[in-house]
Structure formats: C-alpha cells, structure tokens
Amino acid sequence: MGYTIHKHHHHFTWDNAREPVHEIDPGEKLLFEVMDSSAGQLSYQSTEDDVRSVDFARVNPVNGPIYVKGAAPGDTLEVEILGFGPQSWGWTAVIPGFGLLADEYPDPYLKTWDLSGGRAQFADGIEVPIAPFPGTIGTAPPEPGSHSIVPPGKHGGNMDIRHLTRGTKLYLPVWNEGALFSVGDTHAAQGDGEVCGTAIEAPMDIELKFHLHKGKQIAEPQFETPGPLFHGQEDKGWFVTTGYGKDPVEAMKSAVRYMIDHLSTTYGLKPVEAYALTSVAVDLKLSEVVDMPHYLVTAYLPKSIMT
C-alpha cells in the first residue's frame, strides 16, 4: 500500500493556486482517509436539529491536492479505483432549501445508518445494498481563484456518479501542471440522481492508483466500468414510475413524486422517509428526448431492497 493522505489534508474549495500536500510519480498508489460530507458536523448521535445548523461553507471536504509528476495541460489523468476501507456508519438528510423537491420538504430530516455489519438497513424489511464510491473527485479547474466544491464541472468535482465503484477507471482532463488531484465525499450507497440532496454519506478509506496519458486531451471526465451497473439481486425486478414534462426538471420531479407516493402507500413510509429512500436507492433515467420539447423520465426502484 502506498502513502496515506490523512483526513486533515483536506480543503473546501477548488483553487489551482493551492499548494499540493503530496507528490507522486505515475503508476503510484495512494490511500485517502476521507471524512463524511459534513466534515464531522453530523455524527451517529446527531438529531434533526443538527441538520438545520449545517454550514454549507464546510461541506464536501476533499483530500489533496496531489501533484502528479509530469502532468501538464493537454494530458489526461487516469484514476483507477482499487478499493474501499470498511464503513462503520453513515447518514442521509433532507436539508432545508436543498434537493430536487426542496419546496415540498422544507423541514429537516435525518436518518443515521449502522454500516458496521456490512448492511444498510433503512427500516424493517427494507435494506439497501452497500456499493461505495467517491461523490467528489477531480483535478483543479483551469480558471484561477476559489471555486465552490458543491457543483460538478469540466474538471470533475461533485459528480455523484454511483458507478465509480471498485475496478472503475476514471479519466480526468489535466488543466494545470501536476494535475492537482483531490477526492472526497464518499458514499456507501446512492441512487442515480441523489434526489433529496444526500446519499448514504459515510467516512471511509479509498485506495487509488494513478496513470498519466501524455498528449491526450479530453474536454470533460470519462470512465470505464468493469461490469454490471446494478448491485444486488436484479432477478427480483423493478417497480418504475414515469414522469412527463416539457421541462426535463419537471419531468424528474413528477417521476419522483409518484415514486414517493408508491413507497408511502405500499410500504407505509412517511413521505419524507420515502423521499430519502428514493435518494439512496432509486435510479432516475432520461428515457425519451427525441420528441423535444417533450421529455420522459423514469424512476427505477429495485424490488430486491424489500427483504
């Protein structure tokens, strides 16, 4: 195992003037000790009152930056995800003013998860498969100055791609000398869309290996996955809601509302609980765009989570 980038080697903004915390040669491995996305503002003992006081200026801490020797603008950095350390706990929250249906869920909600047994139980009879990945990962952007860590961008950032699991190779454009790579915001599980604004946010270790492709420029991140995109027992099938709209965001909202209604009426969940479960377990897909400006979004609930 290579050098460890400890959790105190973190930052809360992207800035290509930030001094690197470590230098590596292409081909090296690094272990990153990652905090949860609240940077310790929430704990396993936290309550919904604590959610109200979360400081958004101190969310999504990323470890780094890492200077990759020989990397220069116009190159591509390959980041191979080798594995993840054990997860002991995590949290999912509805944060006032944040999320796809923020106007409809103005009050805070918090679910803490015990992950120590390798399981993520939401409630009796509902269990989400653990499939860890980094929510925020990237190189420093080319523009000077301090940039928010919250959104994604052409450098990577808070992409929240749940398929960046073990064995994946992520390709990132290099915009600065040394690439200035950082990673954090690890999740134990998430649905495509992360609709309530959070996944199973969990501190954990992540081991990465770095390769450099000289003179190969890409405009935005790309990646390769080693196998199927689903986790769990796909043979049990899915329950799917659809949402139509002339705006893809409105179509997404409709599909999510119908899924919340299904989870509430079928499994007895409170609407806010169903909203949170949709965020960590349901996949949104843009199923139809050919008849623009008419869009169809589908939301896939894996039946396998109902034990």
* Mean pLDDT in residue range 204-213: 98
- Helix H or strand E segment including 279: helix 271-281
* Whether residue 2 has pLDDT greater than 80: no
CA distance 298 to 91: 26
Q: Are both 3-224 and 234-305 of the same fold?
A: no
Q: Pick the closest to residue 122 from 268, 284, 286, 285 (CA basis).
A: 268
For the chain, which residues make up each domain, given as ranges?
3-224, 234-305
What integer pLDDT is reported at residue 22 of this predicted model? 98
Residue 25, token pair as written in the block: 């040669």
Write the single-letter amino acid at 172. Answer: L
Pairing assessment for the beta strands 29-34 and 204-213 based on DSSP bridges: antiparallel
The CA-CA-CA angle for residues 69, 12, 141, to 5°, reads 45
Q: Are 178 and 16 in contact (CB under 8 A)?
A: no
- Helix H or strand E segment including 283: strand 283-288
What integer pLDDT is reported at residue 233 of this predicted model? 58
For 230-279, write each residue's pLDDT tens digit.
Answer: 666 567 899 999 999 999 999 999 999 999 999 999 999 999 999 999 99
Q: Does the model's pTM come out above 0.85?
A: yes
CA distance 222 to 78: 10
Q: Strand, coil or helix: what is 64? A: strand
CA distance 222 to 191: 19
Q: Are 152 and 60 in contact (CB under 8 A)?
A: no
Strand partners, 114: 89
Q: How far is C-alpha 118 from the geometric centre of its chain's CA atoms? A: 19
- Selected from 2.30.38.10, 1.10.10.10, 3.30.360.10, 2.60.120.580, the CATH number assigned to the domain covering 3-224 reads 2.60.120.580
Write the single-letter amino acid at 86. Answer: P
Report the CATH number of the 234-305 domain: 3.10.28.20
What integer pLDDT is reported at residue 236 of this predicted model? 87
Per-residue burial over 135-167, b if 16 or more Cβ lie within 10 Å, else e, is bbbbbbbeeeeebebeebbbbbbbbbbbbbbbe
What integer pLDDT is reported at residue 231 of this predicted model? 63
For 114-150, write each residue's pLDDT tens digit.
Answer: 999 888 999 999 999 999 999 999 999 999 999 999 9
